[in-house]
Structure 1
Amino acid sequence: MTEVRHDWTKEEISDIYHTPLLDLIYRAATVHRENKDYAEVQISSLISVKTGGCPEDCAYCPQAARYQTGVNVHAILPKEEVVAAAQKAKAGGASRLCMGAAWREVRDNRDFDKVIEMVQAVNELDMEVCCTLGMLTESQAQRLADAGLYAYNHNLDTSEDDYKRIITTRTYDDRLKTIENVRKAKISVCSGGIIGLGETVEDRISMLKTLSNMPQHPESVPVNALVPVEGTPLAEQPRVSVWDMVRMIATARIVMPRTVVRLSAGRTEMSTVEQALCFMAGASSIFAGEKLLTTPNPAFDEDMAMFELLGLTPRKAFKNGRPHQAKNIEESVIA
């Protein structure tokens, strides 16, 4: 069994990342296959419960109020609409529902009260519930945990050195503090990044070093390919090569061997063959459904056809226990 480490150096991760591609895929696939459930892939669905009007300046995001992207701003959704979306996602094979709100940070107000009610309602559907709501205090994280939240997403996006080029309205330390608050509440952590932002390979390696050297690895690491949106500062960025995605997924799999590596945004631009390479390299989760917040995504039936072709099976909810009962990632293989 591959050792779980928290002391990776940039040089070690760089050597892995730059391994000849076929050797890299083979090594990552070997690590992945140490888990008897390597052919299981978790299907998650993502719904925007509050869209647009965000005060942040994330250079990639169509929901930032300062950019003209054509995104229609809408207030927080009714709980009934979210529950209906969750039921549809579950019927399509999803075991996790992630609810996103275009907020800079959570505020203790009626909208947060509504999110708490949504978490409780979706949890009752026997689905893992994830939220991505911006920055959280320790008490807010605990309140979400008490409501039954299973996971919280808070991506690092890029390296610490590159961060100010992408976002100026908060700091890297703000990101890390929220992740720390989530950990204290015993909620599982979902944190990864985006490639194709104009970052260097060194930035990608640095981000993986930050994630892999956390005291406890994130239970989930999304690897997103930038989906350029007209009106954002990164609208003219070229499409990320599938080989870059494969290298990131494979490297993440090797340095965080028991983490769920998520093949996330950008799948609409990838063929079944390209996605198959990502699964071979260690991806063990996807987002399914027609949209990822505001960007297009493959439909459930397309993904089910791909699963059948590749011999993949959807992972069931709560495989590692209910909230507050989940096994420590260092003691349990959850890939």
Structure 2
Amino acid sequence: MKQAPTPGTIQAIHDQPFPDLVRRAMECHHQHWNPREIQFCVLDALRTGNCSEDCAYCAQSAHHTTELKPNPLKEEASVLAGALQAKAAGATRYCMATSGRALREGPDFEHVLGIVRAVSDLGMEPCVSLGLINSAQARRLKAAGCAIYNHNLDSSRLVYERIVSTHTFDERLATIRAVRDAGLQVCCGGILGLGESVNDRIHFLHELASLDPVPDAIPINILVPIPGTPLEGMPPVPPLEVIRVIATTRILFPTSRIRLAAGRSSLGPEAQALAFLCGANSIFTGEKLLTTPGSEVDSDQALLRNLGMHSEGRVG
């Protein structure tokens, strides 16, 4: 078992002069990845709303009064149509999420297993996020062709306990262990802008670095304040603070995918380009990410062309 870096070591990386931080992150990125290539992922909401959990940032919680209209589980044909469209647009990973604490055993879980098989048959990497799952469920997902499971820690343990009361940080860690034990890749990241301090961000990265092994993919979300949620009035995160976290993450996790996820459009094209230089090499593309705005595929392809970059599997 590799010894995780201490919070003090992570803080020293994060706080170094910006030119040094960027240079070090770029060197690390060039060593392990093609710096001109970005993985395109598409996120599909299989079921939305009526969630029993009280996550303070989420429009889908039944504890909050938002404009979101709940929807039941999608039909397989509808999901496959979206997956085919995503594949044609250059996406290699199709991510599917359901609202709720956990996906109920029985017909609902079997339905999702069927969708996973169908998406896998298209030659795409199926990724799912179904809330808390156990080892047996994780093994069934693996057998169905699921490649990766997303389950974010969101932030440091102390921040998490302030924004969620209906489940615990340790329950999240237990799901991650079950996923890893089943042989699935782990996608695990967090959200910036929850009211956390820099110290909280350091401890969040320490939690990720303490996972054994570390996550295969690390999504970095930027809070999109949603009216009706407890965090609707949170101020925006300064872009350079986001870049510092991305660069630090690349240095700490040289072989992990780093994905710009929700809130990416708040960075603007210049800050996104800087994020790519500092090690972000995956994005969610598409006009909607579950309940928040995304970015059109054509706009993302145009941005990459302007940078002399391309999406994975495409050249030029």
TM-score (norm 2): 0.97
Could you tell me whether the CA contact under 8 Å between 1:208 and 1:252 is conserved in 2? Answer: yes
| C-alpha distance in structure 1 between counterparts of 2:265 and 2:228, whole Å | 20
Q: 1:239 — aligned with what?
A: 236
The answer to whether 1:230 aligns with 2:217 is: no
Could you tell me whether the CA contact under 8 Å between 1:6 and 1:214 is conserved in 2? Answer: no
Shift of 1:67: 0.9
The answer to whether 1:56 aligns with 2:53 is: yes
The answer to whether 1:12 aligns with 2:9 is: yes
The answer to whether 1:23 aligns with 2:7 is: no
- 2:286 corresponds, among 257, 275, 289, to 289
Q: 1:323 — aligned with what?
A: none
| C-alpha distance in structure 1 between counterparts of 2:201 and 2:150, whole Å | 19
Shift of 1:38: 2.4
The answer to whether 1:101 aligns with 2:65 is: no
Shift of 1:6: 3.8
Shift of 1:316: 4.1
| C-alpha distance in structure 1 between counterparts of 2:136 and 2:104, whole Å | 11
What is the root-mean-square deviation of aligned Cα atoms in Å?
A: 1.3
Q: 1:88 — aligned with what?
A: 85
Q: 1:176 — aligned with what?
A: 173
The unaligned stretches of length 5 or more in structure 2 are none
| C-alpha distance in structure 2 between counterparts of 1:268 and 1:70, whole Å | 21
Q: 1:333 — aligned with what?
A: none
Shift of 1:155: 0.2
Three-state SS of the structure 2 residue aligned to 1:73 is coil
User: Against the structure 1 CA distance between its residues 238 and 312, is the aligned structure 2 distance closer, same or farther, given a 3 Å change threshold?
Assistant: same
Q: 2:302 — aligned with what?
A: 305
Tell me how many residue pairs correspond in the alignment.
314
The unaligned stretches of length 5 or more in structure 1 are 318-335
Q: 2:273 — aligned with what?
A: 276
| C-alpha distance in structure 2 between counterparts of 1:129 and 1:274, whole Å | 29
Larger fraction in helix: 2
| C-alpha distance in structure 1 between counterparts of 2:35 and 2:134, whole Å | 35
Q: 1:165 — aligned with what?
A: 162
Shift of 1:314: 1.7
Shift of 1:5: 5.5
Shift of 1:293: 0.5
| C-alpha distance in structure 2 between counterparts of 1:248 and 1:49, whole Å | 30
TM-score (norm 1): 0.92
1:215-251 Cα shifts (integer Å, max 9, x gaps): 1110000111100000000000011111111011001
User: Against the structure 1 CA distance between its residues 6 and 256, is the aligned structure 2 distance closer, same or farther, given a 3 Å change threshold?
Assistant: farther
What percentage of aligned pairs have identical amino acids? Answer: 43
